[in-house]
Amino acid sequence: MKKAEVKKGKKKNVLKEYWPLYLMMLPALLYLLINNYIPMAGMVIAFKKLNFAKGIWASPWAGLKNFKFLFASKDAWIITRNTLLYNVAFILVNMVVGIAIAILITEVRNTKLKKIYQSAILLPFLMSMVILSYIVYALLSAENGLVNNSILPLFHIDPIQWYQKPKYWPAVLIIANCWKGIGYGCLIYIASLIGIDPSFYEAARLDGASKWQEITKITLPSLVPTIITLLLLSIGRIFYSDFGLFYQVPMNSGVLFPTTNVIDTYVYRALIEQGNISMSSAAGVYQSLVGFCVVMLSNWIVRRVDKDQALF
């Protein structure tokens, strides 16, 4: 009894003491509630045969029938595989290239040039995917593309029908995503690189360390906390894909679906082209479920490795 009372009192005190903080949290909580929690009720659509005339609740139940189309063809497997593998590739490539470029930029002595490089690399990040898709098209188009008309002939390679050959697209998409997204990660790495105490480098140089040794022994270890934070943030979104990248950049070319179809584009096509809301929300529920499992799993792994770094 007494213990409980003490606990209760303590709780009250916390609220009293930190109420401005709670007040500040309130708008964000409301936002989460309205945007992320209330709509969860809509998951019920995935199990209904939706009829607008009857409304959601009065529409007849369909059981798991809406999920059947996902598994009728090999679609469910392909879109799950694509979404996961692409995201893993994006995370790794962007991390490695981002750190490399961040180190290169911080090594530039001339401050003016440094600023120019930094802005140049951030610029693609601010671009719309539609523009990116046309830049890629200008390179890969069969009729007028730069690659087929100017670059491949130099090596005596026959022109390639890029938009007809799925096998090239993992590489194309990874490069395109890297080119576009690298600037943002780079900025964060540069910020933490600047934070490294210069006396480390001075001491290393006095001891006769080479540039390479400086990088591997001082720079990289100091970056580890930043790397882990960014890694966990991206793992949390591993089952979401950049719709614009996968829809716009391959120009919606059907032949490329085996390597460009991800959950988001699949749901979009199912809803817009076939107008079946029940089925597309079934795909949405499937995305949420698998996404939930992946996040739980990766968090569990991180916790086993280093408890303090885990998200929860």
Q: Is the Cβ of residue 45 or residue 223 nearer to another protein in the bound state?
A: 45
Return d(Cα 148, Cα 113) in angstroms, integer.
34
Out of 29, 113, 127, 130, point to the residue binding another protein (CB under 8 A). 130
Among 3-11, 71-79, 192-200, 213-221, which window interacts with another protein (CB under 8 A)?
71-79
Binding to another protein by residue 52, rule CB under 8 A? yes
Element (H, E) at 86: helix 75-107
284 touches another protein (CB under 8 A): yes
Q: Which stretch binds another protein (CB under 8 A): 9-17, 20-28, 81-89, 123-131?
A: 123-131
Residue of 241, 83, 75, 252 lying closest to 163 (CA atoms):
252
40 interacts with another protein by CB under 8 A: yes
268 part of the interface to another protein, by CB under 8 A:
yes
The residue within the footprint of another protein, chosen from 82, 264, 291, 295 (CB under 8 A), is 264
Q: How many residues does the chain have?
A: 312
Q: How far is the CB of 257 from another protein (least distance, A)?
A: 5
Within residues 150-169, the interface with another protein by CB under 8 A covers: 161, 163-164
Binding of residue 247 to another protein (CB under 8 A): yes
Beta bridge partners of 61: 48
> 16 to each of 8, 22, 164, 199, 272, how far by Cα in Å?
12, 10, 65, 45, 51
Give the footprint of another protein on residues 186-205 (CB under 8 A): none
Among 24, 25, 32, 41, binds another protein (CB under 8 A): 41
Alpha-helix runs per DSSP H in 18-58: 19-32
* CA–centroid distance for 235 within its chain: 8
Residue with tokens 């540039």: 211
The set of residues, in sequence order, having a beta carbon less than 8 Å from that of 63 and lying 6+ positions away, is 47
CA torsion, ordered 232, 212, 196, 205, to nearest 10 deg: 160
Residue 229 interacts with another protein (CB under 8 A): yes or no = no
The separation between CA 74 and the C-alpha centre of its own chain, rounded to angstroms, equals 24
146 binds another protein (CB under 8 A): no
Candidate ranges 49-57, 96-104, 220-228, 230-238; the one touching another protein (CB under 8 A): 49-57
Told to check if 113 binds another protein by CB under 8 A, we report: no
Cα end-to-end distance, the chain, whole Å: 31
Rounded Cα gap, residues 282 and 211, in angstroms: 54
Site size with another protein, rule: CB under 8 A: 65
Crossing angle for the helix pair 220-235 and 277-305, nearest 10 degrees?
A: 150
Nearest CA to 103 among 215, 198, 180, 210?
215
Among 93, 108, 125, 141, binds another protein (CB under 8 A): 141
Residues of this chain that bind another protein (CB under 8 A) = 38-45, 50-58, 65-66, 68-69, 72-75, 128-130, 137, 141-144, 161, 163-164, 243-244, 247-248, 251-255, 257-258, 264, 266-277, 279-281, 283-284
